[in-house]
Amino acid sequence: MSESDQIHKVVIIGSGPAGWTAAIYAARANLDPVVYVGVAKQSPAIQLPGGQLMLTTDVENYPGFPDGVSGPQMMQMFQKQAERFGTKTQPRDIVSVEFNSDGPHKLVTDKDETVYAHTVILATGATANWLGLENEQRLARNGGGVSACAVCDGALPMFRDKPLAVVGGGDSAMEEATYLTKFASTVYIIHRRDELRASKVMQERYLSKPNAEVKWNSVVEDIKSTTNEHGQEVISAVVLKDTTTGELSDLEVGGLFVAIGHTPATGFIKDSGVTFNEKGYVQLDGKTTETNIPGVFAAGDIADDHYRQAITAAGTGCQAALDAEHWLGDRDLI
């Protein structure tokens, strides 16, 4: 590192609720944060700056928005608030890192630019695993009734009193499907095998609901759509393929929820020395946002394999900024 290279106090990687909340707190503490917002990607699944909320049409469970707010609009508001206090943004991906226990940390962008920082907040989130169907991706982007989070979207008016489908067979799928039984006329679990992988208690909880059904030995081959009264393209049915006979059939539904897991966005720190838990998420030190590397913190879904909600991500973004501020203060770097 040359003497002319600037060392930032705080660099935040990621631009979802965790990243922007960290930026708001860091900026108000005069830490001059820089947010690397990321670059849009379409393969193998949709990944947009702003995170999973960019695929959410209406957010109704975030406090302060009594009439709801679209996910993209919420992220724009978060960004505007962070920039109001002096946050700088960079439309770049961080593609590799060299974390140094003695600091500063070295980050490299997709444009082969080198960035140095005393503290780094990892907030790149986790990407929902999708089926990989063209119609699935389009309807998820357009708010057409395809989602990867029932708890986020299932209570929306567009899904109420309609037949809904959940793809998956694990505990997460059971939890999502059980939640949806409160609103749907029927909830179908679509599973490729003849038995579920979920724990017995989760299976029983779902199957005990009067409007719960399972489509065994089935996979989703395609998704059909129609145009509603508002001129919007929305899901109308899923095309199922029987895994034993190969037979195709249509299942009419008003919504499809994909519950086949999430993948934390940690590829760029895979060989950085950061410790991960058994599921591949960043391991934190107790109730803090500290990682095992001094000056490196993690917030949001990159370190949360349980809740994965906008408000919990924002909360840990606040914690990460406060943890970074205290870390810098203890070393007389502010």
Alpha-carbon distance 169 to 276, whole Å? Answer: 25
Domain locations in the chain?
A: 7-127+262-330, 130-258
Class of domain 7-127+262-330: alpha beta
Instruction: Express each pLDDT in 263-290 by its tens digit.
Output: 999 999 999 999 999 999 999 999 999 9
Q: How confident is the model at residue 42 (pLDDT cuts 50, 70, 90)?
A: low
Instruction: Express each pLDDT in 291-330 by its tens digit.
Output: 999 999 999 999 998 888 999 999 999 999 999 999 999 9
Q: How confident is the model at residue 212 (pLDDT cuts 50, 70, 90)?
A: very high
Residues 6+ apart with CB under 8 A from 31: 9, 10, 321, 324, 325, 328, 334
Alpha-carbon distance 197 to 47, whole Å? Answer: 28
DSSP bridge pairs for 226 = 234
Instruction: Look at residue 235 in the predicted model and tell me its pLDDT.
Output: 98
* Residue 143 CA to its chain's centroid (Å): 16
Q: Is 318 a catalytic residue?
A: no
| Among 58, 93, 153, 323, the one annotated catalytic | 153
SS3 309: coil
Instruction: For strands 233-242 and 114-122, give the pairing.
Output: unpaired
Q: What percent of the chain has pLDDT over 90?
A: 81
CATH placement of domain 130-258: 3.50.50.60
Alpha-carbon distance 48 to 86, whole Å? Answer: 23
Q: Is 330 a catalytic residue?
A: no
The amino acid present at 100, given as its one-letter code, is N
Instruction: Give the per-residue SS3 of 255-296.
Output: EEEECCCEEECCHHHCCCCCCECCCCCECCCCCCCECCCCCE
| Among 58, 149, 301, 305, the one annotated catalytic | 149
Instruction: Express each pLDDT in 70-91 by its tens digit.
Output: 889 999 999 999 999 999 999 9
Q: Is 149 a catalytic residue?
A: yes
Helical H runs in the chain?
17-28, 71-84, 134-141, 150-153, 171-180, 200-207, 310-330
pTM score of the predicted model: 0.84
| Among 93, 110, 112, 152, the one annotated catalytic | 152
> What mean pLDDT is reported for the chain?
93
Q: Do 7-127+262-330 and 130-258 show the same overall fold?
A: yes
Q: How confident is the model at residue 40 (pLDDT cuts 50, 70, 90)?
A: confident
Token readout for 169 is: 């067979």
